[in-house]
Each structure stands twice: as structure tokens, then as C-alpha cells.
Structure 1
Amino acid sequence: MATDGERIREQIWRTVMPDEQDRAFVDLAVDGGQGLPEFLRRLGADVSDSWDQLAALSAEYRILVEDIEAAIRVLGPRGWAVTPMSVTVLRQAVEAAEAGREGEADDLLADEWDGDDGAARLSRVCAQVGVLGATDPELHRLFHERARLVGLARDHHLAGRYDASVPLLQAHMEGIVIDVTGGSKFFTMTREKADLVDPQRLVGLEACLAALQKIYGTGVKETQTRGSLSRHGVLHGRELAYDTRVNSAKTWSVFAALVEWAQPKALAVVRARKAERQAAAAGSQALDGRGRHLDNREFSETRDALRTLWASAMGWHRQRGRFRPDLVGGVYQTSDFTRKGLPAAHAIQQWVSQEGQEVMYWRTTASGWTLGIALSAEGDRFDEYLFSAPRPPSGPPSAGASGWGGLFETPPDWS
């Protein structure tokens, strides 16, 4: 029967290396491949040096997995989420805890959230909260406000006001989970409990956030001074010794892991809300207060693809002295555009002048509106033009075709 460590290690391997063939190759390089380079040399392929490098890297990779497993197994039950912290410090903390010096282990990890490095780590977490709802105006506003409050928790922690940092963080842990799951919760053992298991991410391993959820969601039935991490005990005044540096650092570690877990879920919420808005506005000719079309299906994906072509076109021109006529279909294939969210029949059009000094790209979106981008080169200088019109461009900006906006004339649908 597998031990806890073996089960956790297997979860880590499935996350960081889901392809079993890759995992088998690592095992071969470390354990069973000593004779393979000699076998290949006899066949005329001398790979000894490369194989030695691969074996060394594979061994390092295995050690890293073992370090993460030990940290999750030993430090997780103490209330630490280990993924946001230095592997070197985690290794030292594991050694201390396994030697019976649990207080030393906690202090080592709490140091990760103090001083200049700790302040930088805390600020990164605050910034990650602030962009969780990016590209959705309402969610962006709400997460920006949430980041402001989390910033206060950062300031409280750095100032040693742990009585304030812990409950403030716990409140926003719950709020973030509710926001990205549509109502599920972190601090509950009821049917409303959020499913925190995501085998594609280390923070989503069964032994990580899901296990910590039990520690932080445990109820406190009587008033105590045990230093419990229970949100119930903190919120209801039943835990009177929660306000310590270590407890605040532990809560920050879990909060940071929770934000990482929430990132793909927040993106899914943003996409779903966008799809709902676009479906409701499909076929509408109405504009918002900034003159942008409400029916903006495929606008952002099209702008992204055209901007990529714009940057690449300039790069190739600097190398060759002229724009490439085969950027679409040559340098960039269908898969490059589908990765940006466009359909396989992406329908991006391109035109390059005979002299190769002017280029334009455009695409008609699912809404029927056309967006385009053009460049003209003169020596080392490039002029950019943006297009937005109900029909494809009749010609390049130099020909005086309508729909093109020059410098400081950004069309609303490009903003």
C-alpha cells in the first residue's frame, strides 16, 4: 500500500509531467540508462556528453519533486501552503520540523513574508488580485477594490499588526472563492464547499489547498488560546491567540496559493460573461458611451492577431528592408491564429505594395465589422494606421481610402 509521501509524489509527477513517456525518459536517464550511450556509440552515434547532461538535469528534477513532496507532507499539516515559497527555505524548514524543531521551521517560513523580499512577495500577490478580472470592466473594478483592501492586509502584516492582517485576509480568501466559483466557499464543510482540486496545477493537488481547507475551515466550539488558524474561531471571537507573525505568514501563504488557483477560474468567468454580453448584443448596431460597438464579437481576438502581425512585419522589414508578402500563410499558420481564439478559417487578409514599403492586414469579424492595421516605412521610421469600418478597406492609407485612422486618431473599436 502506497505511503502518503508516495501518493503525494505521484500527484506532483502527474501535474508537472503528465506525459508518461516523458516521465519514463527521466527514470531511464537517472536509473537505467548507463549503458545506452555506449550502445548508441557502437551504432555510430556518440551521445555521451549530451546523455550525461540529461541525466544530471533529470536527477535535479527528481530531487525538486522530492523536495516539494516533503514540504507538502511535513509543512502542509502545520497550515503552510508551500508553493509560493523558496524551495531552498522549504528544504531547511522540512529538516527542522522533522528534527522536532517545529518552531524553527515556522520562523524560517515566516521570514519569507517579512523584510524587503517579503514585502515584494506580498506586493506581487496584491497585484495578482488586481488583475483577476482584467478585460471585464465590472470585474476589473471589483477586483481592483479587493486588491486595495488586500494591500491594507499587506501593510498590517509588515507593521506587525497581525490582529488585523489575519481576519482581513481570511475575508478576501472567502470572497475570491465565491467570485470565481459562482457561490462556493472556502471556509465551510457543507455542500457549499468549493472544489479546490485541480490536477493540472501544483496548488490544486489533493494534498495542497484541499487539505488546508480542512485546517482553516475547522470550527472552534469553545473559547481558547491555542493559536488556531480556524476562521470560525477568529471571526466569532473564540480563538484569542491567532494574532502572531507565524499565523499571519501562514495565512498569506494560503492566500497566495488560492490566488494562483483562482487565476484560470477567473479567466473562465470573464470569458463566460463576455460570451453572454456578446450573445445579447449580437446584430445590434448600438454603440457604448465611448463610441464602441456593443456587438463586438471577435474584436479582441482580431485586434490581438493584427497587432502580432504588425510587430512581426516591422521586425522582418528591419532585417530585409521590405515587408514580407507571405507573413500570413507563410510565417504565421492557421494554428497561430486559432491559439488567439480565431476560427480555423481565420480570413485574415494581407496586401503588400509592389515596392514592399507599405503593408496592410485586415479581417471581418463575426459581427460583420472589419478591423485592420497598416504600416508604411520610410527609412528606419514606421507609420501605423488603424482601420475600423463596416466593410473591408478599399485601399491603403496612402491612397486616401476611408476608414483609416492615423497617429492620435485611434478608432473607438481599437481602444
Structure 2
Amino acid sequence: MSTSAPPADNMQVNDPALKRKLKKAERFLKIRALLLVAPLVLFVLFTFVFPLAEMLYRSIHNPVLVDNMPEVAELMQRWDQQQIPGEEVFASVGKALVLAREQKTIGRIANRLNSEQSGMRSLMTKTARKLKRYEGSDYKVFMLQQDKRWGEMETWGAFKVLSSEFTATHYLAALDLQYNVNGEIVPQPESRQIYVDMLLKTLKLSLMVTLFCIILGYPLAYLLSVLPPSKSNLLMILVLLPFWTSLLVRTSAWIVMLQGKGVVNSFLLWTGIISEPLDMMYNQIGTVVAMTHILLPFLVLPTYSVMKSISPVYMRAARSLGATPGHAFFKVYFPQSLPGLSAGAILVFILSIGYYITPALVGGRTGQMISNLIAYHMQTSLNWGLGAALAGSLLAVVLVLYGVYNRLVGASQMKLG
């Protein structure tokens, strides 16, 4: 009785040589795919991930005292904060001040201490200048004679805060908090409580801009989706026109439009609608108006792309079943357009919360946003740690709000057409 030969396919699968060739081909395909995406991965790492990690690291890194006064930092780590330190600490600080003055690093140390306790810069530079000519050994008595602030717990509390290489002081400052002389977290003095209010104002202005973009952009996107192609293409060019002009030019144009003797006020005065110019510039009104105009296309485009994909058959079916135009719109059409609207809204909100140039030009004192304070600390005060902590706090707020949005709407519901 003859046995039938196994199928050819089974012979191929069980062939060890063929298996090796298949594995080699699959490995080659994976390597080729990895090489194709490698430039994009490297680009994202070097332009987004690494800078973000560096920012978060800088927000908690506190090396000024540890690097420039290591002995002082070590002694302050052991200080019990019950009373002012003894002669050993005073001598260490005095000698370190003289050395820092010679090495021209005292300015950096004093600036960082001054961010923790007001007046520390003048105290440090004044004492270092006096100590240069001091030849005695009783540093504590001498320094207390030069300035009574050396006998205050707040002064040494600032040294204590900076005695560790890693600290949360920047994030506490970003939340208008600080360490007191006992190491407890307490609110900042009222004169220094500015960051939480600025963050809340940033969120408020961003929400207002997003709301106005929805109010103006949703009808415009709907109009673009129902018009004939010849007319909708013309309107789409007008929507895209702001992208073809500089952000600085658009912002400057709003300054011309909204200022006291600008186009808007002149027209309203000429028509008799108002009797005196409206204050629309260098405040929150100017910021909201300019940002709404600039960010409006970011809401219109994703909303329009989703609306364009909605078949008109659904509305006709709803009407044929007896629904009124309004009822059919809100029950049938609006839910289908919601993914595009939500994508545009979250895009506008995230862009507006980090805006810098427009609030700086048209916002004045009351229209500034937290991004302007971040830029101030990065460029003017050079307190990079606090600037990084403010940016990190803003990032945390955005992530929390995005998480809430994901729970309520669902990120998977967002569509771009």
C-alpha cells in the first residue's frame, strides 16, 4: 500500500533553510522600516524630548551653593534650624564669600539667594567687601557687627534651602509658596504672590479665545461645507490668508485697529455709537481679540474637513421623518461634526495657553500671560530654574486638562476629516 506524499506547502514550512531565509527577510524588512523612521525619531528626540527633559531637570536642579560653596552647603545640611548657626558656619561662609568675590562668582550666588530671601544680594556683596580686609578669627562677631541680618533666621533659612543640589523651591515659588525658617511650606508674602493669579488668568484668557473661536468658526466651517466649490474655495483662501502673513504684522495691524485713535474707535465715534474712545488696547480685550483672529483658522480647518465628510442624506432623512430644521441639525448633524469641533477646540486652547508675542505686544500689564513671565525669567532675570518650573507647571496643567477632556469627550473621538 503506497503512502501519499505530504503537501508541498508543508514541506516548505518545515524546511530549516527556508525558515532561516524567511527570518532573514523579516529582519531585513524591520531594519529597513527602522531606518526609514530613524530620522523622524531623532528629530523628535533632539527637538522635543531632550529639551523637555532638560527643562524639567533644570526646574529641580539647584547647584549654585553646592558648586560654589560646598563646605557651607554641607554644614547647612546639618543645621537644626533651632537657632542661628555657630562660629564654624560663620567662618565657613565668611571665607567662602571672600573666595567667591575673588573668583567673581559672588554675583551668581547672591542672585540665587536673593530669589529666596529679599535683600540677600546686598548683604552678600557688602559683607564680602568688608571681609576682604578682615584678619581676625571671630567671624560671627564681625559679621553680626557689619549687618544685623546675619543674626536673623530668615537669612540662614535661605542658605538651608539652597544647601541641597535638588530642591522643590522653584515649584513652590511657581505656586506662590515657600519654606519658612522652620522648613515648613507656607504662602509667599502677598507682594510676591503673582504666579497663581497669572496662571489662572492665562487659563481664563485661553478659554475665552477658544470659546470665541468656536462661536465664529463653527458657522464659518458649516458655510464652507455647504457652499458650491467655486465659492467655498474663495472663502477658504480668505480663511488661509492669515497664514500667509507674519504673526508680527497681524498683531501690529490690531494695534492700529484697536488703539484710542484707531480705525475701530474712529468709526464708532463718527457714527455716534460712542461719545469717547473705548479702551481696547494694552489690556485683556486686545489680547483676546488679536489671539482669536490669529487662531481662528486652527478651529475652522479641522471642523470644515469633518463637516465636508458628512453626507447630506442624514439631514434629508431626518426632515422626511418630521424633524424641524433646528431639531435635525442638533440631533443629527451636530453630533457628527463634534469630532472635528473638539479637535479644533483643543488645538486652539493648547496653542493659546502658550502664546507669547501677541500678549506682549497688545496685552499691556493686564493682558500678559504666564508665558511672558517665563520669558522674563529666561531672558532678563536669568532665573532659569524658576522659569523652567513655571513651564513645568503649565505643562502639568495642560496634561490635567487634556486628561479631563479625554474622560469627557474622548481623544479617540477627535477627527481631522
For the superposition of Structure 1 and Structure 2, which TM-score range results when normalised by the shorter chain?
Answer: under 0.3
Q: TM-score, normalised by structure 1?
A: 0.22
Structure richer in helix, relative to its length: 2
Structure richer in strand, relative to its length: 1
- Higher RCO (CA-CA < 8 Å; seq separation 6+): 2
Q: TM-score, normalised by structure 2?
A: 0.22
